[in-house]
Amino acid sequence: MRHYPVQYMPLLALALLTLAPAAAPASEDALSRIADLRPVAGWSVLPESTAYGSGDGLAGIYNGGYEEYTRAGVVDALRRIYRNGEEYVEVTVHAMQSARSAREFLADRYRMEKGGAAPDDPGWARFTASGAGSTTAYAVGGVYYITVVSYHDGERGEAQTGPFVRALSANAAKLAGRPE
């Protein structure tokens, strides 16, 4: 290994930081720890339902819609289905380029779903939207953006998505080493 004079070390470190990618993929393993095998009692991962993708590989999750996610700053994502008897819930965990891009994407989704500006509250990190036959819970935790989809609307849909989004948000906070 080549040795550099101590006085050049800060410059070298700066150069290495400049060369480093802005946001490396969080890795399938990290995302799997957020969407873990049994985040909610009674629910388990449906075999063969897990899909992971980064960059253009997000097409494996969103098909042609993936560019909307990469443009918004999604670096990689993991999608899986949880099953409880004949009930299903779909979870997708996205690692974003930054906590800011995660919050901006959440706000964008809020505008799409609710038709108005997102709450102007630094602590705002979740919302739920329910339409015909569908409920989606949206959340951010640090650089992670999480969606949970139930195939029911109204109270039943919220009863399914609520425990998942709380559990996954807690897992994301644990991964980031900070309180939820």
Partner 1 sequence: MAGLACGGVAVGGCGGASDPAPDAGLRQPRTLGRGRGRVWVGHSGDPASALRAAVAAAGGLGFIPEGGHVVLKPNVAWSRNPQQAANTDPRILAAMIALCREAGAGKITVFEHTIDRPSEQVLAVSGIAAAARGAGADLVYTTAERDFVPVAVTRGKLLTRDTLARTVRDADVFINMPKAKHHSQTGLTLGLKNLMGVIFNRQAWHSGPDLHQYIADYATAVPIDMTVMDASRILLTNGPKGPGKTREPNEVIVSFDPVAADAYACGLFGLSPSDVAYVARAGELGLGESDPANIAIERA
The residue ranges that bind partner 1 (CB under 8 A) are: 46-49, 51, 56, 59-60, 62-68, 81, 88, 90, 112-113, 129, 131-134, 136, 149, 151, 153
Question: Taking Cα atoms as reference points, which of 177, 179, 149, 180 lies closest to residue 30?
Answer: 177
Q: Shortest approach of partner 1 to residue 45 CB, angstroms?
A: 12
Q: Shortest approach of partner 1 to residue 142 CB, angstroms?
A: 24
Among residues 2 and 71, whose Cβ is nearest to partner 1? 71
Among residues 124 and 151, whose Cβ is nearest to partner 1? 151
Question: With contact defined as beta carbons under 8 Å apart, do 36 and 87 qualify?
Answer: no
Among residues 113 and 170, whose Cβ is nearest to partner 1? 113
Among residues 93 and 142, whose Cβ is nearest to partner 1? 93
Q: Is 162 left (phi over 0), alpha (psi -120 to 50) or beta?
A: alpha
Q: Give the type of residue at 28.
A: E
Q: Shortest approach of partner 1 to residue 148 CB, angstroms?
A: 11
What the block records as the tokens of 161 is 């998505």
Q: Shortest approach of partner 1 to residue 55 CB, angstroms?
A: 10
* Cα 118 from chain centroid (whole Å): 18
The whole-angstrom separation of Cα 87 and Cα 167 is 18
